[in-house]
Amino acid sequence: MFVDMTADIAHTLHPHRQLLVAFSGGLDSTVLLHQLVLLREQDPSLTLRAVHVHHGLSAHADDWVAHCRQICQQWQVPLVVHHVTLARGGLGVEAHARAARYQAFQDTLNAGEVLVTAQHQDDPVRNPAAGVKTRAAVLPACRRWRHPLPLPAVGLLRPLLNETRESLRQWALAHQLSWIEDESNQDDTYDRISCACG
Protein backbone atom coordinates (compact mmCIF):
# COMPACT_ATOMS: atom_id res chain seq x y z
CA MET A 1 0.00 0.00 0.00
CA PHE A 2 2.75 2.43 1.00
CA VAL A 3 4.75 1.63 -2.14
CA ASP A 4 1.70 2.40 -4.23
CA MET A 5 1.19 5.71 -2.41
CA THR A 6 4.76 6.85 -3.06
CA ALA A 7 4.67 5.77 -6.69
CA ASP A 8 1.34 7.50 -7.22
CA ILE A 9 2.66 10.74 -5.79
CA ALA A 10 5.76 10.59 -7.98
CA HIS A 11 3.60 9.97 -11.05
CA THR A 12 1.33 12.93 -10.27
CA LEU A 13 4.26 15.29 -9.75
CA HIS A 14 5.96 14.47 -13.05
CA PRO A 15 7.45 16.51 -14.71
CA HIS A 16 7.33 19.28 -12.09
CA ARG A 17 10.54 19.73 -10.09
CA GLN A 18 9.85 22.91 -8.09
CA LEU A 19 7.13 22.43 -5.49
CA LEU A 20 5.50 24.71 -2.94
CA VAL A 21 3.63 22.63 -0.35
CA ALA A 22 0.62 24.04 1.49
CA PHE A 23 1.54 22.95 5.01
CA SER A 24 -0.95 23.32 7.83
CA GLY A 25 0.93 20.91 10.08
CA GLY A 26 -2.10 18.62 10.21
CA LEU A 27 -2.09 14.92 9.39
CA ASP A 28 -2.74 15.25 5.67
CA SER A 29 -0.14 17.86 4.81
CA THR A 30 2.41 16.30 7.16
CA VAL A 31 2.19 12.98 5.35
CA LEU A 32 2.37 14.76 2.00
CA LEU A 33 5.45 16.75 2.98
CA HIS A 34 7.11 13.65 4.42
CA GLN A 35 6.50 11.75 1.19
CA LEU A 36 7.96 14.60 -0.84
CA VAL A 37 11.04 14.75 1.38
CA LEU A 38 11.59 11.04 0.76
CA LEU A 39 11.19 11.56 -2.98
CA ARG A 40 13.71 14.40 -2.83
CA GLU A 41 16.21 11.98 -1.29
CA GLN A 42 15.78 9.78 -4.35
CA ASP A 43 15.88 12.70 -6.79
CA PRO A 44 17.91 15.72 -5.63
CA SER A 45 16.63 17.74 -8.60
CA LEU A 46 13.32 18.03 -6.73
CA THR A 47 13.18 21.30 -4.81
CA LEU A 48 10.73 21.84 -1.96
CA ARG A 49 9.41 24.83 -0.07
CA ALA A 50 6.46 24.97 2.31
CA VAL A 51 3.99 27.71 3.15
CA HIS A 52 1.92 28.00 6.32
CA VAL A 53 -0.87 30.53 6.74
CA HIS A 54 -1.51 31.91 10.22
CA HIS A 55 -5.13 33.07 10.29
CA GLY A 56 -5.25 33.98 13.94
CA LEU A 57 -8.55 32.12 14.27
CA SER A 58 -7.35 29.71 16.95
CA ALA A 59 -5.74 30.31 20.30
CA HIS A 60 -3.26 27.63 19.23
CA ALA A 61 -2.23 29.31 15.97
CA ASP A 62 1.17 30.41 17.28
CA ASP A 63 1.86 26.89 18.54
CA TRP A 64 1.00 25.54 15.09
CA VAL A 65 3.53 27.89 13.51
CA ALA A 66 6.19 26.71 15.96
CA HIS A 67 5.36 23.09 15.18
CA CYS A 68 5.57 23.67 11.42
CA ARG A 69 8.89 25.47 11.80
CA GLN A 70 10.28 22.57 13.80
CA ILE A 71 9.17 19.97 11.25
CA CYS A 72 10.49 21.94 8.30
CA GLN A 73 13.80 22.55 10.03
CA GLN A 74 14.09 18.84 10.79
CA TRP A 75 13.35 17.93 7.17
CA GLN A 76 15.39 20.80 5.70
CA VAL A 77 12.46 22.37 3.89
CA PRO A 78 12.38 26.19 3.72
CA LEU A 79 9.18 27.46 5.30
CA VAL A 80 7.35 30.70 4.61
CA VAL A 81 4.80 31.79 7.24
CA HIS A 82 2.11 34.28 6.26
CA HIS A 83 0.18 36.12 8.97
CA VAL A 84 -3.10 37.23 7.46
CA THR A 85 -5.90 39.49 8.61
CA LEU A 86 -9.31 38.33 7.50
CA ALA A 87 -11.70 40.71 5.82
CA ARG A 88 -15.09 41.35 7.36
CA GLY A 89 -18.32 41.00 5.48
CA GLY A 90 -21.09 38.72 4.38
CA LEU A 91 -18.99 35.94 2.86
CA GLY A 92 -18.34 34.30 6.21
CA VAL A 93 -15.15 33.38 8.03
CA GLU A 94 -14.39 30.26 5.96
CA ALA A 95 -14.68 32.10 2.66
CA HIS A 96 -12.52 34.98 3.86
CA ALA A 97 -9.95 32.54 5.27
CA ARG A 98 -9.84 30.67 1.94
CA ALA A 99 -9.34 33.90 0.00
CA ALA A 100 -6.54 34.93 2.36
CA ARG A 101 -4.82 31.57 1.91
CA TYR A 102 -4.99 31.79 -1.87
CA GLN A 103 -3.50 35.26 -1.81
CA ALA A 104 -0.73 34.02 0.47
CA PHE A 105 -0.02 31.13 -1.88
CA GLN A 106 0.10 33.40 -4.89
CA ASP A 107 2.38 35.84 -3.09
CA THR A 108 4.72 32.99 -2.10
CA LEU A 109 5.01 31.09 -5.38
CA ASN A 110 8.20 31.62 -7.32
CA ALA A 111 8.45 31.42 -11.09
CA GLY A 112 8.38 27.78 -12.14
CA GLU A 113 6.87 26.50 -8.89
CA VAL A 114 3.58 24.65 -8.61
CA LEU A 115 1.39 24.47 -5.52
CA VAL A 116 0.92 21.02 -3.98
CA THR A 117 -1.96 20.37 -1.58
CA ALA A 118 -2.95 17.37 0.51
CA GLN A 119 -6.58 16.77 -0.43
CA HIS A 120 -7.54 13.10 -0.20
CA GLN A 121 -10.56 10.89 -0.91
CA ASP A 122 -12.36 11.74 2.31
CA ASP A 123 -12.22 15.50 1.84
CA PRO A 124 -15.34 17.28 0.60
CA VAL A 125 -15.04 19.25 -2.64
CA ARG A 126 -17.56 21.83 -3.71
CA ASN A 127 -18.52 21.79 -7.37
CA PRO A 128 -19.68 25.35 -8.16
CA ALA A 129 -21.53 24.26 -11.28
CA ALA A 130 -23.76 21.95 -9.27
CA GLY A 131 -23.69 24.03 -6.10
CA VAL A 132 -23.19 20.93 -3.97
CA LYS A 133 -20.42 19.18 -2.10
CA THR A 134 -19.20 15.76 -3.15
CA ARG A 135 -16.27 13.55 -2.26
CA ALA A 136 -12.85 14.09 -3.77
CA ALA A 137 -12.79 10.44 -4.84
CA VAL A 138 -15.44 11.03 -7.51
CA LEU A 139 -13.39 13.76 -9.18
CA PRO A 140 -10.28 11.91 -10.43
CA ALA A 141 -9.89 14.29 -13.36
CA CYS A 142 -9.05 17.03 -10.90
CA ARG A 143 -5.72 15.54 -9.83
CA ARG A 144 -4.02 18.17 -11.97
CA TRP A 145 -5.73 21.36 -12.92
CA ARG A 146 -5.47 25.09 -13.10
CA HIS A 147 -7.94 26.59 -10.70
CA PRO A 148 -9.80 29.49 -12.36
CA LEU A 149 -10.34 31.45 -9.13
CA PRO A 150 -8.62 32.84 -7.26
CA LEU A 151 -5.32 31.45 -8.59
CA PRO A 152 -5.60 32.05 -12.35
CA ALA A 153 -1.95 31.48 -13.20
CA VAL A 154 -0.98 28.86 -10.65
CA GLY A 155 -0.52 25.16 -11.32
CA LEU A 156 -2.07 23.02 -8.60
CA LEU A 157 -1.26 19.38 -7.90
CA ARG A 158 -3.15 17.12 -5.48
CA PRO A 159 -1.26 13.82 -5.40
CA LEU A 160 -3.14 12.21 -2.49
CA LEU A 161 -6.55 11.92 -4.14
CA ASN A 162 -6.25 8.14 -4.30
CA GLU A 163 -5.68 7.96 -0.55
CA THR A 164 -8.08 7.85 2.37
CA ARG A 165 -7.51 9.67 5.63
CA GLU A 166 -7.02 6.29 7.28
CA SER A 167 -4.23 5.35 4.86
CA LEU A 168 -2.54 8.67 5.65
CA ARG A 169 -2.92 8.01 9.37
CA GLN A 170 -1.34 4.56 8.95
CA TRP A 171 1.61 6.09 7.09
CA ALA A 172 2.07 8.70 9.82
CA LEU A 173 1.96 6.09 12.58
CA ALA A 174 4.35 3.76 10.74
CA HIS A 175 6.87 6.58 10.34
CA GLN A 176 6.28 8.05 13.82
CA LEU A 177 5.26 11.44 12.48
CA SER A 178 3.77 14.15 14.67
CA TRP A 179 0.96 16.39 13.52
CA ILE A 180 -1.49 19.02 14.68
CA GLU A 181 -5.03 18.09 15.66
CA ASP A 182 -7.10 21.11 14.68
CA GLU A 183 -9.98 21.51 17.13
CA SER A 184 -12.09 23.08 14.38
CA ASN A 185 -11.67 19.99 12.19
CA GLN A 186 -10.33 22.17 9.39
CA ASP A 187 -7.08 20.32 8.83
CA ASP A 188 -5.83 21.10 5.34
CA THR A 189 -8.75 23.30 4.42
CA TYR A 190 -6.19 24.67 1.95
CA ASP A 191 -7.42 21.81 -0.17
CA ARG A 192 -11.19 21.96 0.28
CA ILE A 193 -11.64 24.12 -2.72
CA SER A 194 -14.13 24.56 -5.48
CA CYS A 195 -13.48 22.21 -8.38
CA ALA A 196 -14.29 23.52 -11.82
CA CYS A 197 -13.64 20.25 -13.64
CA GLY A 198 -16.26 19.09 -16.08
Q: What type of residue sits at position 194?
A: S
Instruction: Evaluate whether residue 188 is within a structural domain.
Output: no
DSSP characters over 3-38 = HHHHHHHHHHHTT--EEEEE--SBHHHHHHHHHHHH
Instruction: Evaluate whether residue 99 is within a structural domain.
Output: yes
154: domain CATH number is 3.40.50.620
pLDDT digits (tens, 9 = 90+) for 157-187: 999 988 999 999 999 999 999 999 865 544 4
Instruction: Evaluate whether residue 184 is within a structural domain.
Output: no
pTM of the model: 0.77
Instruction: Evaluate whether residue 82 is within a structural domain.
Output: yes
Q: At what angle do helices 27-42 and 61-75 cross, to 10 degrees?
A: 10
Instruction: Evaluate whether residue 155 is within a structural domain.
Output: yes
Q: How far apart are CA 76 and CA 134, in angstroms?
A: 36
Instruction: Evaluate whether residue 179 is within a structural domain.
Output: no
Q: Is 182 left (phi over 0), alpha (psi -120 to 50) or beta?
A: beta
pLDDT interval class at 133 (50, 70, 90)? very low
Instruction: Evaluate whether residue 185 is within a structural domain.
Output: no
pLDDT at 35 over 80: yes
Q: Give the model's pLDDT for residue 198.
A: 29
* CB contact set of 23 (below 8 Å; sequence gap of 6+): 29, 30, 33, 50, 51, 52, 68, 71, 72, 79
Q: Give the model's pLDDT for residue 177.
A: 96
pLDDT digits (tens, 9 = 90+) for 45-82: 999 999 998 876 666 788 889 999 999 999 999 999 98
Q: Which segment, 4-8, 30-34, 107-111, 122-126, is predicted with the most confidence on average?
A: 30-34
Instruction: Evaluate whether residue 196 is within a structural domain.
Output: no
Q: What's the rounded mean pLDDT across residues 95-123?
A: 85
Question: Which structural domain range is residue 141 located in?
Answer: 2-174
**Structural domain total, the chain:** 1
